[in-house]
Amino acid sequence: MDTRDFIAGLPKAELHLHIEGSLEPELMFALARRNRIDLPFPTVEAVRAAYQFSRLQDFLDIYYAGADVLRTEQDFHDLADAYFARAAADGVVHAEIFFDPQTHTDRGIPFQVVADGLLAAMRAAEQRHGVTSKLILCFLRHLDEDAAFATLDAAEPWLDRIAGVGLDSSELGHPPEKFARVFAEAGKLGLKRVAHAGEEGPPDYVWQALDLLNVDRLDHGNRSLEDPQLVRTLAEREMTLTVCPLSNLKLCVVDSLAQHPIDRMLDCGLYATINSDDPAYFGGYVADNYRAVAAARGLTRDQIVQLARNSFTGSFLDDASIAAHLDRLDAYVGAH
């Protein structure tokens, strides 16, 4: 079996996926027609042509514009349903997906519409594809902490079905410390905590995520490698990093995948994983990310398997479920 096919069948979890970022142009146009919305692009091809970014903010501008077609519970269901079909084809057996309620509530879409649509699709994915999933509510860091508290309050009826909270959107100028109080409150509520840090922001943002937000998992974390003590701390704490190679390339975090640090992270003892971030915008789902970085960096099969293993040990599944997934992974590797 060649590496491409091996990666496709490799059981894996995806831990860094923005569900709004899986909105393919074809679905964007279909939802726009259904909801009678005029898009600023004449064709699917014109949308894709706009996906040229020089920094995170370039992407966010078009990301928020695209999300405007999401209006009804059925829209959110269809969005997630399409993602899970793609994920299952990529060997994903468990996914922990982010959603940005403020992107929707700020334009008048009730929290219930968003949550119920996504949760219905998550239930359907387990029945149809055997893919289990968890939902992570992300706060938009370009807004203030009071807005994050209001979102956490609005989520209260769904907290038994939400696994954790996260922090995303524009990183520079919005350090993790800005959200220390709301993350502390989320912890008291029994929610897991994750945060984007060290993508464009400096290593200090990663320290803040660790020490002020008390994160259970770190999203991105590339710039951690600039601080040797931080690298040692991340390794000692067995902190999982949800790394997104094609995103890093598309947003100019790295100049080329040949320069991507994924294998260096593994060599440093970091618990790195491979994820797709916003696959509709960045040119590939999770298996595409594995294949692209494996080819560019010459990853060994053992390194590829380690990345998949880290995706399960870094998940928020219970110990028994993690053990079962690792057994399935080992069986697949043994058979190939």
The residues annotated with a catalytic role in the active site are: 199
Task: Please report, in angstroms and rounded to a whole number, the separation of the first and last CA atoms in the chain.
Answer: 7
For residue 328, count other CB atoms closer than 10 A to its CB.
13
Tell me the sheet residues that pair with 197.
220
Distance between CA atoms of 135 and 119, rounded to whole angstroms?
8
φ, ψ of residue 121 to 5 degrees: the values are -65, -35
Is the Cβ–Cβ distance between 10 and 25 less than 8 Å? no
Tell me the sheet residues that pair with 273.
242
Q: Which run of H or of E encompasses 149?
A: helix 145-154
**SS3 of the chain: helix, strand, coil, percent, to 5:** 60, 15, 30
Q: In Å, what is the CA distance from 223 to each residue of 201, 206, 218?
A: 8, 8, 12
Q: In Å, what is the CA distance from 61 to each residue of 53, 147, 181, 246?
A: 10, 20, 28, 19
User: Which residues make Cβ contacts (< 8 Å) with residue 207, sequence separation at least 6?
Assistant: 227, 230
Tokens for 19, please give them: 């569900």
Is the Cβ–Cβ distance between 87 and 311 less than 8 Å? no
User: Which residues make Cβ contacts (< 8 Å) with residue 273, sequence separation at least 6?
Assistant: 13, 15, 16, 240, 241, 242, 243, 307, 310, 311, 314
Tell me the sheet residues that pair with 139.
167
Distance between CA atoms of 326 and 308, rounded to whole angstroms?
9
